[in-house]
Amino acid sequence: MKFIDDYRRPEAVAALVDKIKRVAARKWMLMEVCGGQTHSILKFGLDRLLALEVDWIHGPGCPVCVTSVELIDAAVELAQRPDVALCSFGDMLRVPGSQRDLLTAKALGGFVRTVYSPLDVVKLAAVDASKEWVFFAVGFETTAPATALAVKQARSLKLTNFSILAAHILVPPAVEAILSSPANRIQALLAPGHVCTVTGLKDYARLSQDFKVPVAITGFEPCDILYGTLSCLEMLEQNRYDAVNCYTRVVKTNGNPAAQKTIYEVFESCDRNWRGIGVIPSSGLRLKAEWSDFDAIEKFALQTVEAKSESECIAGSVLQGEKKPDECPAFAIRCTPDKPLGAPMVSTEGACAAYFKYR
Ligand code: SF4
């Protein structure tokens, strides 16, 4: 298998589904950690194909969904300053803050620019000294290396008009918090392959041992997800647990050491507030003291006051796998992609958006 289509071939999907059905003697609860995996499961109807074998619990792996309201408010505040150009990935523009989202801030005259890479913001800062260029640095371990590189590049170019609003988060502490909860129902995990590309397997091996749960590192195509599911169900049925790499075409055991080194040259871990979930210890990344001249919160003396988000939204329960999106009373009635009440309906990786689009 070399190309995407190979991982979607109906015969390959059918063979894996058949194997899973023969292995499963009962229904098991699996959490797919990443929102991209959630979308694939619904898009390709894997939940329907395995309706009797797997109860899919959708995890917190959507960075847009879990970025705290106070950080969105800080981004909005920056965007409204006349001297600031606030740059962000497109998904963040419509996520509600306590008062407004970035798109509304832009409509009201704020300078908000969508970018594909933090390195683009460094380029913009280098050619336009009339503005303070701020990158809203959102994402998991997958996007943090590029942000760290941008900060390093800005220093080597001696830029004083570039900074970041650091909102990066780490997956393993969040998974650990969910597995530690008394409400936890998860019996096995499909771990996020893209994150493991950077981090490697060690965090998930530890989680598997500590919580005695099977973990399969998986990708995002139907065959990837089914292969990971088969591995988890085989272990569950044999009363075994381990962390296995089912995404070997991308993930190496030790991940990407160069990317890890770049991250921790610039960042250090910190406690972070996850939207709808609460503060999770050591689950965020903040700039180290020696890089603090690139910290937008310090540079602009921003007050990040903890803010309450949408009252009706049950995103916290959805993101921790306690409820399914269609159990939310507002789902598809008062909350739609055109008029989202919560972040999981906005993001292209959000579970609520997946249910709206595919169900
Ligand atoms: S459907 Fe909307 S209101 Fe309900 S949990 Fe999802 S984002 Fe929140």
pLDDT at 175: 95
Neighbours of 357 (CB within 10 A): 13
Q: Which atom of ligand 1 is nearest to the CA of 340?
A: 2
Q: How far is CA 180 from CA 7, 60, 183, in A?
A: 34, 14, 8
Residue-wise pLDDT for 92-121, tens only, equals: 998 989 999 999 999 999 999 999 999 999
State which amino acid sits at residue 305.
Answer: V
| Distance separating alpha carbons of residues 230 and 287, to the nearest angstrom | 40
How far is ligand 1, taken at its centre, from the CA of residue 119, in Å? 33
What are the residues facing 34 on neighbouring strands?
61
How far is ligand 1, taken at its centre, from the CA of residue 89, in Å? 21
How far is ligand 1, taken at its centre, from the CA of residue 238, in Å? 37
Q: What is the DSSP string of 246-258?
A: S-TTT--TT--HH
**Which residues does 274 contact at the CB level (< 8 Å), separation at least 6?**
60, 66, 68, 169, 174, 280, 283, 319
Average pLDDT, the chain: 94
pTM of the model: 0.93
pLDDT at 252: 97
Domains in the chain, please, with CATH?
68-168+256-299 (3.40.50.11740), 315-358 (no CATH)
- Across the range 44-64, mean pLDDT stands at 94
| Distance separating alpha carbons of residues 336 and 287, to the nearest angstrom | 36
Total count of residues recorded for the chain: 359
Q: Is the CB of 167 under 6 A from ligand 1?
A: no
Q: Is the CB of 20 under 6 A from ligand 1?
A: no
Residue-wise pLDDT for 218-231, tens only, equals: 999 999 999 999 99
How far is ligand 1, taken at its centre, from the CA of residue 225, in Å? 25
Probe target for ligand 1 pocket from 58, 101, 313, 356, with the most ligand atoms within 8 Å of CB? 313
Helix, coil or strand: residue 240: coil
pLDDT class for 31, splitting at 50, 70, 90? very high
How far is ligand 1, taken at its centre, from the CA of residue 274, in Å? 16
Task: Decide if pLDDT at 310 tops 60.
Answer: no
State which amino acid sits at residue 172.
Answer: P
**Which residues does 197 contact at the CB level (< 8 Å), separation at least 6?**
142, 250, 251, 252, 255, 256
Task: Decide if pLDDT at 169 tops 80.
Answer: yes
Neighbours of 326 (CB within 10 A): 13
pLDDT class for 264, splitting at 50, 70, 90? very high
Helix (H) / strand (E) containing 284: strand 278-287
State which amino acid sits at residue 355.
Answer: Y
The residue nearest atom 3 of ligand 1, judged by CA position, is 313
